[in-house]
Amino acid sequence: MAVTLFTNIKQLAGIRTENKLLRGKELAELNVIENAFLIIENGIISSFGEMKNISPSALKIKKQVNASGQLVLPCWCDSHTHIVYAASREEEFVDKLKGMSYAEIAAKGGGILNTAKKLNAASEDELFNAAWKRLEEVSRLGTGAIEIKSGYGLSVEGELKMLRVIKKLKEKSNLSIKTTFLGAHTYPLELKDNHQKYIDSIIHEMLPVIAKEKLADFIDVFCEKGFFSPGETEIICKAGMKYGLKPKLHVNQMNSIGGIETGIKLDAISLDHLETMTDAEIIKLSNSNSIGTLLPTAAFFLRMPFQPARKLIDTNAAIALASDYNPGSSPSGNMNLVIAMSCIQMKMLPEEAINAATINGAYAMEIENETGSITIGKRADLIITKPVSSVSYLPYSFGTNLIDKVLINGNPV
Distance (Å, whole) CA 74 – CA 25: 20
| Residue 253 lies near ligand NIG (rule: CB under 6 A) | yes
Residue among 6, 48, 76, 222 that touches ligand NIG (CB under 6 A): 222
Nearest approach in angstroms of CB 330 to ligand NIG is 6
| Residue 324 lies near Fe ion (rule: CB under 5 A) | yes
413 in Cβ contact with 76 (< 8 Å):
no
| Residue 368 lies near ligand NIG (rule: CB under 6 A) | no
Q: Binds 115, which of Fe ion, ligand NIG, none (CB < 5 to 8 A, cut-off by type)?
A: ligand NIG
Residue among 74, 259, 328, 372 that touches ligand NIG (CB under 6 A): 328
Helix (H, G, I), strand (E, B) or coil at 22: coil
When the beta carbons of 329 and 385 are compared against ligand NIG, the nearer one is: 329
Q: Binds 284, which of Fe ion, ligand NIG, none (CB < 5 to 8 A, cut-off by type)?
A: none
| Residue 180 lies near ligand NIG (rule: CB under 6 A) | no
Interacting stretch for Fe ion, rule CB under 5 A, among 101-109, 323-331, 344-352, 370-378? Answer: 323-331
C-alpha distances out from residue 248 to 39, 219, 245, 286, 322, Å? 35, 6, 9, 16, 13
When the beta carbons of 249 and 413 are compared against Fe ion, the nearer one is: 249
Interacting stretch for ligand NIG, rule CB under 6 A, among 51-59, 94-102, 324-332, 356-364? Answer: 324-332
Residue among 329, 334, 355, 373 that touches ligand NIG (CB under 6 A): 329
Nearest approach in angstroms of CB 55 to Fe ion is 47
Binding mask 74-113 toward ligand NIG (x if CB under 6 A, else -) reads -------------------------------------xx-
Interacting stretch for ligand NIG, rule CB under 6 A, among 40-48, 322-330, 366-374, 384-392? Answer: 322-330
Nearest approach in angstroms of CB 327 to Fe ion is 11
Helix (H, G, I), strand (E, B) or coil at 220: strand
| Residue 275 lies near Fe ion (rule: CB under 5 A) | no
Alpha helix ranges (H) inside 213-349: 230-241, 259-265, 279-286, 296-301, 309-314, 335-346
Label residue 316 left, alpha or beta by phi (over 0 means left) and psi (-120 to 50 means alpha): left
Residue among 161, 250, 378, 379 that touches ligand NIG (CB under 6 A): 250
C-alpha distances out from residue 149 to 58, 163, 166, 181, 222, Å? 43, 8, 8, 6, 12
Backbone angles phi, psi at 68, to 5 degrees: -60, 125
Pairing of strands 32-41, 3-13: antiparallel
Nearest approach in angstroms of CB 226 to ligand NIG is 11
Interacting stretch for Fe ion, rule CB under 5 A, among 118-126, 260-268, 316-324, 358-366? Answer: 316-324
Q: What is the dihedral angle through the alpha carbons of 227, 245, 363, 85, rounded to the nearest 10 degrees?
A: -50
| Residue 298 lies near ligand NIG (rule: CB under 6 A) | yes
Helix (H, G, I), strand (E, B) or coil at 73: strand
Q: Binds 259, which of ligand NIG, Fe ion, none (CB < 5 to 8 A, cut-off by type)?
A: none
| Residue 276 lies near ligand NIG (rule: CB under 6 A) | no
Q: Residue 384, Cβ neighbours under 10 Å: how many? A: 20
Q: Binds 111, which of ligand NIG, Fe ion, none (CB < 5 to 8 A, cut-off by type)?
A: ligand NIG
Distance (Å, whole) CA 176 – CA 362: 10
Helix-then-strand count for the chain, H and E? 16, 16
Residue partners of 220: CB distance under 8 A and separation at least 6:
149, 151, 180, 181, 182, 184, 185, 247, 248, 249, 250
Identity of residue 323: S
Q: Binds 79, which of Fe ion, ligand NIG, none (CB < 5 to 8 A, cut-off by type)?
A: none
Contact residues for Fe ion, defined by CB under 5 A:
324
Residues near ligand NIG, by CB under 6 A: 111-112, 115, 222, 250, 253, 298, 324, 326-329
